[in-house]
Amino acid sequence: MDEIFGFHSAPFSFYIHQLVKNLAVSKPNVMGRPREYDPRMLLKLVLLAYSYGIISCRKIERFARENIVAMWLTQEQRPTYRTIARFIVSKELTEMIQASFKDFHDYLQKAGLIDEASFIDGTKILANANKYSFVWKKRTIKYSDLNVVKARKLINEMREEVKVDASLDDFQIDELDTTIALLEQRIEELNKQVEETARVSPNPAKQERRHAKKYLRALDHCRQKNIEYKDQVATAGKRNSYSKTDHDATFMRLKEDPMRNGQTKPAYNLQIMTNSQFVLGHDLLQNPTDTRTLIPFLKHLDQNGVLGKEMVADAGYGSERNYRYWVKSQKGKIHSKIFSTSEWIFLI
């Protein structure tokens, strides 16, 4: 651990100190209670503890009190496990970690430990969500269309039994609010008629009111379902599915399949870029296939300033769209026969 970089005898804690001390705190406290602990000090402590395999917040708190190296990094400050836990899940830590990749990349490049190659690979990690809480976008669209058909049928039947001027010409499901408002107005009129003709039996106003209330409940249900389906499609976005208990998770097939039935589970596609066994970039994506994750991941790496001039990835990332994007990003010439075996030298 003391010579993890192999080119210097300084302890590993020194490199953590050098890496973190120049990171800018994005949101300094201008108003309110001042910070009790510097976020950079907390980041140093967390990184050192993680390098020792300590991930429990309570154990990190004890580590800060008992380990002499941790005491030097924290200047003998002793944050509680609650403070450490809040810091680990904060957006501020995410921003600091993201900014540190560029500094870490430049530091390794200056020391001659990495070259211009970017080795990219990914894996799927299971989300902390119910595996039966799936919402499939295609099925939602299908049910939404069936809901429109059901609403049109109800309005058509309602016009025969209730005196409501509801038109079906160019009917849109979003116009249900108007139809429901007319129906509620008709029910109020029928209530007055029932009071005026209380002794009449059988009472036509009562029968019409009964039918009106029935269609009001049915149409209101269609309206609620329309709102639900719209929200589901908007949440899914460009994805085919998502989890009800974790809207960011997408259902994917994982390597771990104990039932051996190819069951999809809520998960994320983790992409990592390395060089000489150093992790220089990562991103958590929602697309289940690596083919569709490459371009967003390359843009992410380029934005952080850690993307090399050469890219190494397996065949799972191969597609014409990805090849063309990479050639354009490197300002190269796109060959007309990029998939021809006679032109493979061009790709090398």
**Least confident range of 7-21, 222-236, 320-334:** 7-21
Higher pLDDT, 9 or 218: 218
The rounded distance, in Å, linking the Cα atoms of 218 and 213 is: 9
Q: What is the pLDDT, as a whole number, of residue 340?
A: 60
pLDDT band at 91 (very low <50, low <70, confident <90, very high): confident
Q: Which residues contact 236 (CB under 8 A, 6 or more apart)?
A: 135, 137, 140, 242
pTM score of the predicted model? 0.72
Q: What is the pLDDT, as a whole number, of residue 259?
A: 65
Torsions phi, psi for 166 (to 5 deg): -110, 120
Let me know: does 134 contact 268? Beta carbons within 8 Å.
Answer: no
The rounded distance, in Å, linking the Cα atoms of 187 and 197 is: 15
Q: What is the pLDDT, as a whole number, of residue 193?
A: 87
pLDDT band at 348 (very low <50, low <70, confident <90, very high): very low
Tokens 């006679």 belong to 342
Q: Which helix (H) or strand (E) holds 169?
A: none
Q: 201-212 pLDDT, tens per residue?
A: 788 888 989 999
In our burial notation (b when 16+ CB lie closer than 10 A, e otherwise), range 169-197 reads eebebeebeebbeebeebbeebeebbeee
Q: What is the pLDDT, as a whole number, of residue 78?
A: 93
Let me know: does 339 contact 315? Beta carbons within 8 Å.
Answer: no
Burial (0-12, 13-18, 19+ Cβ within 10 Å), 116: exposed
